[in-house]
Structure 1
Amino acid sequence: MTRRCPWKKRSTPPPAAVPPASRRPTSFVRGEHEFHIVGYNARAALANNAHYSILSGAFKVGGHNWALDCSFHDDGHLASIALLLLTAYITDDAVVAKASLKIEDPLGRWPAAVWESDEAYTFHVWSGNSWQLSQAGRSWTLPVPEAFRGHESRYVQDDHLTILCTVEVLRAEEEEESAIAEDMQKLLFLLSEPKSTTPACMLPDVTFVVEQAEIQAHRLVLAMRSPVFAAELLGDMREGTTRHVMVEDMSASTFRAMLRFIYTDELPIKGKTTNERGCKQKCAARRRVDMALDLLVAADRYDLEKLRLMCEKILSESIDTASVIPTLMAVLGRHSCRQLEASCIEYLASDANVYANIKATEEYKELEDSCCSFLANVMDKVATSGVEDMTLAPPPNIVSHLEQLLVSEKGADVTFLVENKEIHAHSLVIATRSPALYTMVLATNQEEYIVPVWGMRVEVFKAVLRFIYTDELPPFEEIALAAGHGVTTIAQDMLVAASRFHLDRMKDKCETMVGECVSERNVVIMLRLACRHNCKKLEDYCMKFN
């Protein structure tokens, strides 16, 4: 008996294994699946004089569902292992993947039987103007590892065989954060060039006075990104109510550069260039180090962990005889900069000539006259130097901070009423990310500032808010479970909500999910839904579904 996928009745010639060209940056997303075949010998015996296959459970890699289909010769030996692409509704022309197989001896007596693809394979699921749901187009036959052939007994223990399949799926680099970053940059531009049509909630509401320069910003954005700013601007401190905040011991240029990072997650320091030579290159490197030092101090002051790590990386890669002492002076004693301090100490202790060259610098001579205790401290650390690897893993970014803001409800100034339940949010985020939803806020009685949302399940609205704050949707199964309805119903509701609030990126995601739910029983309903909300791909899919 052969287990078949729903589309196996159709067939087309197998596609060429050539990856398509891509206009967007791509990378492979990796995942693994262990296929445990219990009763292996008994199942293999069923292939006597007939084709027989065993289908694994579905697993997910790279946003697609996959399965393994093990086929047997009529003599009961494993013939091939096919990788099946199960995802029914796919918006891309093709899916490109690599694969490898590994079968180990459970007792460790023999080397593992291994096979891996030399090149990527292309699953053609879209051809011309029609959807190809063929088994041939969605099946990639993988050879059985050579070491396994003729030696099955080595790898089958207690009538149990385990096949480890690794799948790597080529995906265009996600732009999940690009829309968030773009919207946050709009707020940054408003600091210097506010427009007459800008909603009041999007205008800057706090001014910092730095070196007699007035620099405007949004309290909510700063508080979301920095716990220090959160305490100052949204807490009980005096700055929480005043519109002007004095900043001492920091230059205006450094404060502006820090603000740029807060709004964009980008380091406002130009990278190294190769077209500059001699004196110009040295001057550029010096400016780069100086700015990194200033921003490091600012990051430490306002607890901007990601900015601090980025600056530490620049400084640790730039340590030389000219920069090591200024860097040490900036970080010595700062608990959060221990790794950079250790890198400087390691550099000083690396060679006697290095330390001799440093002692000859003007900075060192000045320190001998003014900061003897500092040098003594440095020398103690040099004598007992030992350095751990630099931690480069970035901490939370803008998206995760927005998600934390939504969960905490800190600074929330608008309340939505959905199915008699209150949901709190922030008008600045709503106005920036969904003007259509903010229009509903403006139309509400300003005294109460409670916005009723009719004709929508509360679980669906919460998912909409999560997308507005993060550009991500929770699993539809999770929403369906909370709402007490099926995934198909929730997928349709989500598509309607995305269309209602003009959230095009969310609409694309929901259109794909609705396409997964199309069946012979509901195809007419789905077609009407697609036409009503101008979902062209879903409409085309439904028209050709049979």
Structure 2
Amino acid sequence: MASNSSTAVNHGQRLPETSSRCSTEIFTAAHNFELDNYPLLDDMGADKYVSSSVFTVGGYDWTIRFYPDGDGNQKNCGGNVSAFLYCSSQANNVKTKFSLNLLEKKGKIGLTKYGLLEHTFSPPTYDFGYPEFFEKSRLRSSPEFKTGCFIIRCVLTVTKEPRTEEIKRNLTVVPQPNLQDHLQQMLKDGQGADVTFSVSGRLLNAHRYLLAARSPVFKAELFGPMKEKETQTIIEIDDIEPSVFEALLHFVYTDSLLLDDEHNKQDRVAKFQHLLVAADRYGLERLRLLCESKLCVDIDMDTVAVSLALAEQHHCKDLKEACVQFMAPRNVLQAVMATDGFKHLVESCPFPPLLMKDILDEVSHVLNGYEHFQASGHPMYDGTVTTNLNAAFIDRDGGGRRRAAGGRLAKRGRAPPMYIISTTSTVETTSEAMLMEK
């Protein structure tokens, strides 16, 4: 009954909660104790030692004590040198792991190879080590004995006592930055707006200081020598779609793309194509790159021609490369040439010769080795695609000019350019033919 009552009381409520943490710290360090002129220490006398300087590890002071004739207080140390680690702090219950080894002067050759010793230093004794550290006879016969230089190296790890502490919970929850949300709401509400754009008849309000801070073009239009007249309350924009300009303003205020509500891929791509042009026009480099990355992903037969033209006009290197690579295979290039987008592109925005050369260069990489297939009469390499491609561009001003171009090429004894390009001469032929028609 009591259990059910307790459950009912606590049901739906958050229980009081506290936390604590147990932590154990360890500290490790090394100390080298150099013994110079060792022969002068020989026969120093039992129970007599030399000491290193004090070094600190884990908050405790330590020294190395070396007995050249052994520690007389230890049994069975006759004929040996002794070495001990001494706790100069004389603390209680100090847990350690350490090693003591004898090295030659340069520290590269170890005369001993002792492992780790585990010891807890407590009263009444504060030293621990090796009564029989090394035989004196072997030490005297060592080549290093004449130079009299040795090193005692100590590697010491001190483990501190476990410590438990309360974990203080920070009950203050700092929210995520929301400046973008506030600016987006300011754009939506239009409160304090001091400039209005009429975009194809649709009115969009904005704040001129924010526009100027984000775009050098807006800054020049609103505050520079080319600023609109003070009496002009509405700025007319007739060459940008309202939805595109709205997306541009959204980026200006939030530094992010307006979420796509376009379910049709072609409509979405067209929107990014228009937005890329607007971004370039207003000097919004990050927005231009965002649009470029979106267009690189959505390349297909129907959109590649327009995207390639935009890439060339607005210096989008990655988009241009992606479009050219997409068009390179023979069957793809033929299909692209048959689209309305490509035909419109040829009529309204002809490719410059250098872009034509880039396309043909990429074609040559995709289908290299054409000479072998051409010699064998392979139908894949009949020259149809590039001949048609050249004709499409040469014929953009009318059939008469195309025929004139064909006549000039024929008089010079040149064959129609091949689709597969293995030498620069064919590329130059294509480019030259295009230049002749300008």
Same fold (TM over 0.5): no
Q: What TM-score comes out, normalization by structure 1 length?
A: 0.37
Q: Which has the larger radius of gyration?
A: 2
